[in-house]
Structure 1
């Protein structure tokens, strides 16, 4: 408990509440206050100027990060025939139909992303109660329901992150690892922000990107000065 208190005090001494940090300063500070022995995930929270209760202001999609996430992504694909073979050749970790569905129902969830060809949704649709709460249900808007499983698998393996607003109108996602250099994290964040801007609902009024906060697994949240981003 004493160690935890010292760590928290050290963070509080270095972090200025309410300050807007440039992306490079934020990454440098997160690295400085990190005291764990593993490479922490760098997360971003983007507050959007939308009404999450309105269906026409829902924001959902996917972004392929130019420098990946730093994580080895395991991909499960629901497909058969040529599409199944294409998925395997593209690096999918699990490929199947009813057999894969049965494994999932049995609690075998050793994957991070689920992709399905359209014809397979008759099987995947029955897994909604299992995949849905975990954010794993394939969806055309995120490119995970597609006839082109080859591209979908390659995107997932390359570091594609999916996003959707929560009930408070906030997008959450990982943009890399703390062992990335600041330039790589900046470019990953810019890719996400650019896609969010493209996804702005026509009915959304006022400032769309109201706040961007960067944090790590065990670290503080730092508000990012949007002027430091080139998007």
Structure 2
């Protein structure tokens, strides 16, 4: 893959053979974000899990202390008092069955996170084919199927991120923007790694985290010393 001049210049500052201390890796990733927009700083963790086994699946969520720097649009499926509660908490969209054709037939997807009360999951389940592949299906493990819609909306708006294994057993999570201070990125990264370390499956034998890379959206990745999290 051919990279542009800016990428090549940024990559010169990073030694690909070195696993950096997290603070140094974040500083380098921040400097490597040279695009004309405010790049997202992402963490990519290659695990030793085998997601084909249910007992080695990893899925959860954590609220980053400084958020992600992104405005998150929340859709809540709820009725009656719970719908009023969701709207009062600041949900961007609140509804029930009437939203099904809008999403299914009109392709409306102007939201980033979906929350549902448990009684609405039979309705939301009808959208599985649309929401599932996009990672938008509400899930109890990530706190998006709940009766406490106020807490769910507040947490998401405050910077809650979800982490899960992809098909390659890698976890990809944003920890902020390049415009964040190094201190803010460090605190977000530490909070995320604390949550993922605790999520290690009890059945997993061998190394949990094989590699950790921090990278800006358009820039080169920086390897992090895995031994810090063993």
TM-score, normalisation: structure 2: 0.93
List runs of 5+ in structure 2 lacking aligned partners.
Answer: none
- Post-superposition offset of 1:225: 2.2
Q: Which residue of 2 aligns with 1:18?
A: 17
Tell whether 2:29 aligns with 1:45. Answer: no
How far has the Cα of 1:173 moved from its partner? 1.0
* 1:49-105 deviation line (CA, Å, top 9, x unaligned): 212222211111111111100011100000001100100010000000012222212
Structure 1 stretches lacking a partner, 5+ long: none
| SS, match of residue 197 in structure 2 | helix
In the TM superposition, residue 174 of structure 1 has moved relative to its aligned partner by: 0.7
Matched residue, 2:225? 225
1:133-212 paired onto structure 2 within 5 Å? 133-212=133-212
Mapping of residues 14-163 of structure 1, within 5 Å:
14-105=13-104, 106-163=106-163
How far residue 209 of structure 1 moved from its aligned partner, in angstroms, is 2.0
Are the structure 2 counterparts of residues 99 and 227 from structure 1 closer, same or farther at C-alpha, using a change threshold of 3 Å?
same
Distance 1:29 1:126 in 2: 45
1:23 and 1:182 in contact (8 A); partners too: no
What SS does the corresponding residue of 1:21 show, helix, strand or coil? Answer: coil
Runs of 4+ in 1 over 3 A off after TM superposition: 226-229
- Partner of 2:133, secondary structure, is helix
> How far 1:116 moved relative to its partner?
0.1
Per the alignment, in what secondary structure is the counterpart of residue 132 of structure 2? helix
Q: After superposition, what is the alpha-carbon deviation per residue over 1:194-218, rounded to whole angstroms, capped at 9, x for unaligned?
A: 1112211110112212221100110
Instruction: Give, in whole Å, the separation in 2 of the partners of 1:66 and 1:8.
Output: 30
Displacement of 1:151 in angstroms is 0.6
SS at 2:60 equivalent: strand
What TM-score do the two structures reach when normalised by structure 1?
A: 0.93
- How far, CA to CA, are the matches of 2:205 and 2:198 in structure 1? 15
State the distance in 1 between where 2:222 and 2:210 align: 14
CA distance in 2, matches of 1:111, 1:39: 21
